[in-house]
Each structure stands twice: as structure tokens, then as C-alpha cells.
Amino acid sequence: AQSVTQLGSHVSVSEGALVLLRCNYSSSVPPYLFWYVQYPNQGLQLLLKYTSAATLVKGINGFEAEFKKSETSFHLTKPSAHMSDAAEYFCAVTPPTGANSKLTFGKGITLSVRP
Amino acid sequence: GAGVSQSPSNKVTEKGKDVELRCDPISGHTALYWYRQSLGQGLEFLIYFQGNSAPDKSGLPSDRFSAERTGGSVSTLTIQRTQQEDSAVYLCASSTHVGSGYTFGSGTRLTVV
């Protein structure tokens, strides 16, 4: 079975500082990986995805993530945090098949941005 | 429609009553998923529909939970004899294929009192 681990439940950064949210996966084969963001009282929005093409993936709102097979990681980064980035972030994994399959989500990390 | 639509957005019900939650996916999306989000529990998979195939019900927590998808479009999640532990946000998502990721609705917040 596949799984993702998001260490810690809360990250706090200053506005303008680097954002780093960690995600490690467990899978017998390199999976498809996703990052989603959830703002208060809203559904989840796709930030970016890795589907076995380029290992460095750029997403919306200036976020990017790098797939590292040797480290089984897919950490999310943003060079400079903005107040509007405060939200909950979820990493998710699914088998790399052509068909639809369910996503398995991590427990999420809450990002706070200090002025 | 342009997005995944869920109704109602909020539902308060008395313990023991049945509730129905509705999801209207994006037109043309063949796959539809239900997840439950509880405080501190992350997102818990409930059920998944793919086209005309038998649904994957492996995440349903008990036989009080059921779901159907009519005509390959709208889905209804039914919870019978609701319990307080059923209080959560129920999220619906749809997709065309796994590599595209999901599009989520805004969810239904269910409170059982």
C-alpha cells in the first residue's frame, strides 16, 4: 500500500522567508504525487503534480516541488512567503497507472505566515 | 458546470436521523470520489466511482454509509442513523484521469447533535 508522511502539523515562517513543507512517500514503484492547498472553509485546490515527467515541478502561486527518488521525497517550496499563503497543505500519492485510482493523503501541514 | 458542486454546504441533524449529501461533478469527468475530513484526521477515503464499473467501497466506515451515482453523473452519499462521530466535512471530487489530479467541491459540513 502507498502512503505519504508529512512531518509536523504546523510550520510558521515570516513574510518573505523561504517556505519548505516536507513530504515523504512509501511506494514499491515511483508513484504520482500531488500537493493540494486548502484555505479556510474551502475545498482543496491542486497546487502541482508529479506524473513521471520532469522531476522539478512548478505549480501555481510560485510554489514548486522536486521529486527525489533516492530520498523518496516530494518537498514543497516557495522562495518568498506571502501572507496569502497561510493555509493547510496536503501531499497525496497514487499508483502511476493510466486509469483512475484513489489518492492517499497525508495528514496535512498548516502554514502560518508572520508579518 | 464549471466546478464540482456540493449541497448542502452545511447540515445539522439530530443523532439517529438519516442524511443525504449531494455531489454534482464536472461534466465529462468519469471518476467521482468521496472523502471525509475530520479535525486532526486528515482526509479519509470513503468511496470511488469510475464510469460503469463497480464502485470501490473499501473506505466506507460502516454499513450505515452508502453512496450511489446515477447516470454516471450526480452522486448521493447517504448516512443512516447518524452518530456524533459522523460529524465532519464531506468532500467530493471528480477527475478525468489520475494524472490530471482531482477537482474538489467545497464540501458539506455535517454536524450531528
pLDDT digits (tens, 9 = 90+) for B15-73: 999 999 999 999 989 899 999 999 867 899 999 998 888 899 999 999 999 999 988 79
Q: Which residue of B has its CA nearest to A47?
A: B101
Joined together, the cell numbers standing for residue A66 give 522536486
Which residues lie below 8 Å from residue A28, measured CB to CB, with a gap of 6+?
A: none
Q: Which residue of B has its CA nearest to A109?
A: B42
- From the list B78, B73, B89, B100, the residue with the least C-alpha distance to B9 is B89
Interchain proximity B104–A106, CB inside 8 Å: no
Give B56 to chain A, closest Cα distance, Å: 9
pLDDT digits (tens, 9 = 90+) for A16-25: 999 999 999 9
Give A11 to chain B, closest Cα distance, Å: 15
Interchain proximity B102–A46, CB inside 8 Å: yes
Tell me what pLDDT residue A98 has.
58
- Residue identified by cell 523561504 is A18
- From the list B52, A10, B82, B98, the residue with the least C-alpha distance to B90 is B82
Q: Is B33 on the interface with A (CB under 8 A)?
A: yes
Interchain proximity A43–B48, CB inside 8 Å: no
Tell me what pLDDT residue B53 has.
86
| Distance spanning both ends of chain B, measured CA to CA | 33
Using DSSP's 3-state secondary structure scheme, residue B99 falls into helix
